[in-house]
Structure 1
Amino acid sequence: MKGKNRFQLHIITDGLKQANELIPIVSAAAKGGADYIQLRYKSAPALDLYTLGKVIQPVIKEEQTGLLINDRVDVAQALEANGVHLAAKSLPVRPVRSIVGSEMLIGCSVHSIEEAIEAEKQGASYITYGHIFPTNSKPGLPPRGIDSLKQVIDAVSIPVLAIGGITNENIDQVLATGVAGIAVIGAVMSQDNPFEAARILRQRMDESPFVPKHALPSPFMNPSMP
């Protein structure tokens, strides 16, 4: 059973796979312990994203895994997804909150303390900060590091997820900061066995002696659950 005070594991799709490839991967990730699948296809038409979401939703919901839609507020609403995740070129948090209301999660990618504080002011449910370690998705850009992550966590009162180059080898450093959890792409999406990749990350988080400073509740969870 997923509790509300544990670290969260968010899996972000890489935008490279067709539906027939993606569905078994996200299903395996959900079975391995992912709390949310974030569907990100930057160039996909709204209809294609909606259609893919409709297929994925019942598959991952069986594992009590939620669905987040990257950028597309309209698709998130049409799917009645658990939330929408906003990036630098997305709509600002405040108008999105006025559109989706108080129930839908709004995540926001930030890259500085100032952006984190502003996202919280505008009504973000959580923020994602990175990249923490070197990663192939950000070639040539220096990582922001653990100390910077800790400063962001201390600066806001909403959950902070860490992203960027997080692996089994460095995850303990990340969890020690008090993050709400981690978001990964290649660490699960590019693996030969996505179930096992997600399961090991999930196990490392569940066995950690550290706890989130501000936890993000799991999807489909009764608020009274411990």
Structure 2
Amino acid sequence: MAQAEIHLISDGKLPLSQFIEIVEATHPLLDYIHLREKHRSARELIAAAEELLRVGLPPAKLIINDRIDVALAVGARGVQLPWHSLTPAEARAVAPHLRLGRSIHSPQEAEKGSSQGANFCLFGHVFLSDSKPGQPERGLAQLAQTVRISRIPVIAIGGITPDHVSQIMKQGAAGIAVMSGICGSNDPLSAAKAYRTSLQVTLESKLAEEVSMHESAH
């Protein structure tokens, strides 16, 4: 069965000790953990990343937002590049082995990110999001258009709840990224389980439909 990814992204609001506790509890259910703390120094980010690894997060799941130097220092799997950051091509020249994500907000940016050598992109925000107050959602139609244009996997982000997962995946997304849906939950582990279950049910339903169509064609 095809897999789909769940990315958990720190929201920059929680104390790092609390985020680390959440990751320790939930990371077996998740595919990637993004350390996204724009206001923190390299030293603080390295300390947080090292603590994440100490509590059991595999380095292969750790992605650092923007800071290639920090990713290299701690042996993280990859870097998430905001649109104002280095291009994927520039980052690839510095760290050819890193998995590079690109944050995008339109189908056109997806096309550009693909051509510059990113491995995947985060597209959002799809739904209204507490992290983007006052900003209109981009919606499922624009997500679908982005998926069609992009030559690399598109991960959807922005206001996504477990109930949205089926709609997201029907647009062709390769997975979802979550911030407050887990970090802001009173029970982050149960929230992570709900996202994983919803994703699994969606994939199983899609597989059943594909098998049924194949059998009908024959």
Question: TM-score if structure 2 supplies the norm length?
Answer: 0.89
Aligned pair 1:19/2:16, yes or no?
yes
From 93, 102, 110, the equivalent of 1:108 is 102
| Alignment partner of 1:175 is 2:169 | yes
Deviates more, 1:119-128 or 1:84-93: 84-93
Query: How many aligned positions are there?
Result: 205
* Aligned counterparts, 1:39-78, within 5 A: 39-61=35-57, 66-78=61-73
Q: Contact conserved, 2:23 with 2:57, CA < 8 A, in 1? A: no
Deviations 1:88-117 (A, max 9, x none): 22111111011110x310001001111111
Sequence identity (%): 36
User: Secondary structure in 2 aligned to 1:109?
Assistant: strand
Deviations 1:172-212 (A, max 9, x none): 1101112110001000001111111011100111111237x
Q: TM-score, normalised by structure 1?
A: 0.86
Contact map agreement 1:126 1:158 (CA 8 A) in 2: yes
Give the distance between the partners of 1:91 and 1:181, measured in 2 at CA.
24
Contact 2:111 2:151 in 1 (8 A): no
1:218 matched residue in structure 2: none
Structure 2 match to 1:220: none
Give yes or no for contact 1:7–1:180 (8 Å, CA) kept in 2. yes
Could you list the runs of 4 or more consecutive aligned residues of structure 1 that deviate by over 2 angstroms after TM superposition?
17-20, 58-62
Q: Report the secondary structure of 1:69's partner residue.
A: strand
More helix by share: 2
SS, match of residue 61 in structure 1: coil
Structure 2: runs of 5 or more not aligned? 208-218
CA separation in 2, counterparts of 1:194 and 1:14? Answer: 14
Paired amino acid for 1:43: H
2:60–2:77 Cα contact (<8 Å) kept: no
- What is the CA-CA distance between 1:16 and the residue it aligns to? 1.6
1:73–1:65 Cα change, 3 Å: closer
Task: State how far apart, in whole Å, the 1-side matches of 2:197 and 2:142 are.
Answer: 25
- Larger RCO: 1 or 2 (CA < 8 Å, sep 6+): 1
- 1:130 aligned to 124, 127, 142, which one? 124
Which structure is larger by alpha-carbon Rg, 1 or 2? 2
Q: Is contact 2:103-2:123 (8 Å) kept? A: yes
Structure 1: segments with no counterpart, 5+ residues: 212-226
Q: Give me the CA root mean square deviation.
A: 1.6
CA contact 1:30–1:65 (8 Å) conserved in 2: no
